[in-house]
Chain A
Amino acid sequence: MNRKHGDIMMLETPFHSRVAALNEINEWDGWAGYTTPTAYFDVELEYFAVRSTTGVFDLSPMNKYRITGPDAQAYLDRVMTRNISKISVGRVGYSVWCNDAGQVLDDGTIFRLGESDYRLCSYARAMDWLSWCAMGFDVHIDDESDGVAALAVQGPTSCSCLKAMGLNAIEELKPFGLTHFDFEGEDLMVSRTGFTGDLGYELWIAPHKAEALWDKLFAAGKPYMIKPIGSSALNLARIETGFLQAGVDFVSAQDAVRPGRSRSPFELGLGWLVDMNKPVFNGKKALQREQKEGSRYRFVILDVEGNKPAHNSFIFKGKKQVGTVTSAAWCPTAKSNVAFAQLEMPHGQVGDELVAEIYYERELQWTRVLAPCKVIDSAVFNPERRRMTPAPAF
């Protein structure tokens, strides 16, 4: 990229010209070195696009690693806590990965593109760790973060938008499935994945076709009320559907400098991603010990009384402080006030009644609320359309 004096330091995604043109309120933030919008026109309206029609999110800055070679599967099985052999070709899986101490380094999605061909999408830069992990394996790891442009197309009418764009039979794609289309002579990969908990897809294409893809998608989606969305609306949607955000709901063990600040998969409620039947994976020994000796923390979803989001709240059991909130939002569709919290064991069993100490400000006046809250067993938003195949047409 040619850069000249006066240019901003941040990189621009392949969709930047389109994103910038639609960013009416000029709200920007940095993500992995790229400038990306936090909102285009109004966070709530963008959020409602995702829940009622279709919202489009530019996720090009996502870190992407292509892992190929005869040992690709064995390699990923050693890196990841989950069983990789269960992800068939044309499927996508969510996983976390740990260091030897069983502490989570990151979470991400694994796309199986071929027999020995995977793409790993991660929150943080991972080349260093992935390369260390490669010792002893016949694999090739390629950082294709800047080589693939990506859009998340999410919401009830997303399938209709894609059909209107000419992606035939896209409604037959199952959740966590992926398929390929020809787009003006380039490969367009579409996966039925996303970070909103709704019916939705992610589109992956070579950067030079990004703008053409955006234009065609928005033209086709116009009757289906397609809107661009920024990271704030996405954040609201992911809290509503119970998705953890790396760097927010947990600190990567790679970044944590203070002892005890990192978390194990069990402590993040992700024990279902840990397959102890695998002969070896990073963190296995430590996690076996944790299973035996007990975890230090428990991840919980809290249903908080009232409508004040419990941002950064302390959580109390009686007079004792037992944890803190990592993410919180008033969730408009579910109409509930949700908080993710890290509680000290043994607190946080489903049904536990706790108190969130909430501070909020109105016109420079701060108010403190002690809001009763309750541990709930699952996320508050989980619509049927998310799982239906063929995908319903709205």
Chain B
Amino acid sequence: MTKYDAVLVGGGHNGLVCAAYLAKAGKNVLVLEANETLGGAAATREFAPGYKVSSCAHWLTHLSPQVSKDLSLERHGLALAATDLNSIGLAADGQHVTVSGDSVAGDTVSAADKQAYTEFHRKTMKFSGLLAKAFAVRPPKLVESNFTDRLNLIKLGLGMKMMGREDMSELMRLALINMYDVMEENFDNEALKALLSFDGVLGAHMGPRSPNTVFGYLYRRVGDVHGYRGPAQVKGGMGAVGIALAEAARSVGVEIRTATPVAKINLRDGRAVGVTLATGDVIEAPLIVSNADPVTTFEKLVGYRNVETGLVRRVSQIRMRSGVAKLHLALDGLPQFCGLDESQLGQRLVIAPTMDYIESAFNHAKYGESSLAPALDISIPTIADHTLAPAGKHVLSAIVQFAPYDLNGGWDAHREHFTRQVIDAISPYAPDISQRIVASELLTPVDLEREFHMKGGHWHHGEISLDQVMMMRPFPGATQYGTAVGGLYLCGAGSHPGGSVMGLAGRNAAQEIIKRGADA
């Protein structure tokens, strides 16, 4: 039997990144993935005969260029079908607002707003630049900090100082407030305010008026720092990221087994010593690295009863109930969107006409209801990538907010009704959409949880908010990827810096493990 140095539980993108870095450092690594495919929430699947779609994340916005380069992802087949896409805030009358990197266009946008946006973008990029630096290393611990931690803290503090006095105090002020107020301060155009604030709540259980949404926006802009002037579309769908990562990992000697669910992480005298597969087979290894979210890792795989109560308490309090659903439509032809030509249909289309529209949509989610008029982030990937649908046919993928995980009365009874409501929300902008639909699929947070083994269906493996980032992520006591269980590490989006198909959690975890050497 092969002796492994490390077993990765989960072949999501972070798991594969972590495995590849560990293998590059000479470790014998085995990746166990429950699903047939690799990449986790970076997935492509056929939801109707001949129609394929990115079934969770549908844009590539954050992938770390460092990871991409270190693992030669392009050489291993990662290709982009479209890059630097615009975000278009749709208006029913065709008076759209288009954000393109640092500029904004649209007939309804005043010159003052255009200028204000460029300035706003400059400032946020400065803040996000600082964040990006902090994202690339393990988060420093505030107590018991050692030299590395102190250095990282000093770098972070120095970085803030270097921004200049005004920008620094502005960052301190902005970081804790909400997008709604910041938008009101900076802009007049309602559609522009809504389009930008939607970036602050994307994937979160928050409305524009929720605190932490400015941080959510800055988090989003870290993608720009990573070189994405706008969302990119992966050729073959997001699943191609997983395939390329798997190729990269295999090329450095990682062994990968798919359709191999792990039932249990085994402990001996408080230390992780191996895993038990669903089949009952046991695989031993001195290091177990979990790509699963922290709650799934401890509640399901380790078992709450096998660790101490304080740890259970922290894990169980992580906020990770998603408010996001995915709608997939198979279309027999390209729908007409008022005021958009075909080339524009391949961009990122956002339905969120006003901030109040988003906030109202969120209000429902707070009380366990789905939004009557949800806010949508739409991709029609077949414009740039014909491989996803039969010739002349198209697919539409929409991120739908909000759809609470714990919907009153459950999702089964509500699924069709909500699907209808989402389509109704698109119809004012694309009147012929209903006639084009040949098949549809709604993935509720409960489906996303089951499909991708993410507790609460949360695609970031835990809400991105100031109380759950940096040294608080995933929870105090596990901030540097190691946990209270010896030999057990976390490498998923639940760990610093978080989700968004970035790969840095996996890379940072691997670096920490390598750094600790025999003490890991």
Contacts and interface: CB of A to CB of B under 8 A. Distances in A.
A281 B308 CA distance: 6
Contacts of A336: none
Given A135-B304, A280-B307, A285 B270 contact: yes
B338 interface: no
A99 interface: yes
Interface stretch (B25-33, B68-76, B153-161, B310-318): B310-318
Nearest to A137: B305
Contacts of B304: 135-137
A279 interface: yes
Contact of A78 (B267, B269, B309): B309
Contacts of A136: 299, 303-305, 312
B118 interface: no
B309 A279 contact: no
Contacts of B267: 279-280
A132 B270 contact: no
Nearest to A280: B306
A137 B312 CA distance: 12
B484 interface: yes
Contacts of A135: 304, 309, 312-313, 316
B313 A132 contact: yes
Interface in A97-122: 99-101
Nearest to B312: A135
Q: How large is the interface on A (under 10, 10 to 19, 20 to 34, 35 or more residues)?
A: 20 to 34
A137 B305 CA distance: 7
B305 A282 contact: no
Contacts, number: 52
Contacts of A74: 305
Judged by DSSP, the binding face of B is helix
Contacts of B303: 136
A74 B309 CA distance: 13
Contacts of A79: 309
A285 B312 contact: no
A279 B270 contact: yes
A284 interface: yes
Contacts of B312: 132, 135-136
A284 B270 contact: yes
A285 B304 CA distance: 16
A282 B309 contact: yes
Contact of B311 (A75, A100, A137, A279): A100
Nearest to B306: A280
A133 B309 contact: yes
Given A135-B316, A136-B299, A279-B269, A284 B305 contact: no
A214 to B, nearest CB: 39
B308 A100 contact: yes
A279 B272 CA distance: 12
A268 B104 CA distance: 68
Nearest to B305: A136
A37 interface: no
A312 B75 CA distance: 75
B309 A285 contact: no
- For B269, B310, B313, the residue with the greatest tally of chain A CB atoms inside 10 Å of its CB is B310
A96 to B, nearest CB: 15
Interface string B241-275: 00000000000000000000000000101100000
Given A136-B299, A136-B303, A279-B269, A284 B308 contact: yes
Contacts of A100: 308-311, 484
Interface in A242-285: 279-285
B312 to A, nearest CB: 5
Contacts of A282: 308-310
B305 A283 contact: no
Contacts of B305: 71, 74-75, 78, 136-137, 280
Contact of A280 (B299, B308, B316): B308
B383 to A, nearest CB: 48
A132 B269 CA distance: 23
Contacts of B306: 279-280
Interface in B290-328: 299, 303-313, 316
A99 B308 CA distance: 8
Interface in A267-315: 279-285
B519 to A, nearest CB: 15
B308 A285 contact: yes
A285 B313 contact: no
A361 to B, nearest CB: 45
A100 B311 CA distance: 8
- For B267, B270, B305, B309, the residue with the greatest tally of chain A CB atoms inside 10 Å of its CB is B309
Contacts of A281: 308
A280 B270 contact: yes
- For B305, B307, B316, B484, the residue with the greatest tally of chain A CB atoms inside 10 Å of its CB is B305
A132 B309 contact: yes
A283 B269 contact: no
Contacts of A284: 270, 308
Contacts of A137: 304-305
Interface in A133-171: 133, 135-137
Nearest to B314: A100
Given A74-B305, A135-B304, A136-B303, A99 B269 contact: no
Contacts of B309: 78-79, 99-100, 129, 132-133, 135, 282
Nearest to B298: A136
A136 B313 CA distance: 11
A114 to B, nearest CB: 21
Interface string B107-130: 000000000000000000000000
A282 B484 CA distance: 12
A82 B307 CA distance: 16
A323 to B, nearest CB: 27
A243 to B, nearest CB: 27
A158 to B, nearest CB: 38
A283 B308 contact: yes
Contacts of B484: 100, 285
A338 to B, nearest CB: 36
Contacts of A101: 310
Interface string A56-92: 0000000000000001001100110000000000000
Interface of B: 267, 269-270, 299, 303-313, 316, 484
The 7 A-B residue pairs whose C-beta atoms are closest, nearest first, are A136-B304, A100-B310, A136-B305, A100-B308, A133-B309, A282-B308, A135-B304
Given A100-B310, A133-B309, A283-B308, 12 more contacts: A74-B305, A75-B305, A99-B309, A100-B308, A100-B311, A129-B309, A132-B309, A135-B313, A136-B304, A136-B305, A280-B308, A284-B308
29 contacts: A71-B305, A75-B305, A78-B308, A78-B309, A99-B309, A99-B310, A100-B308, A100-B310, A100-B311, A101-B310, A129-B309, A132-B309, A132-B312, A132-B313, A135-B309, A136-B299, A136-B304, A136-B305, A136-B312, A279-B270, A279-B306, A280-B267, A280-B270, A280-B305, A280-B306, A280-B307, A280-B308, A281-B308, A284-B308
Interface of A: 71, 74-75, 78-79, 99-101, 129, 132-133, 135-137, 279-285
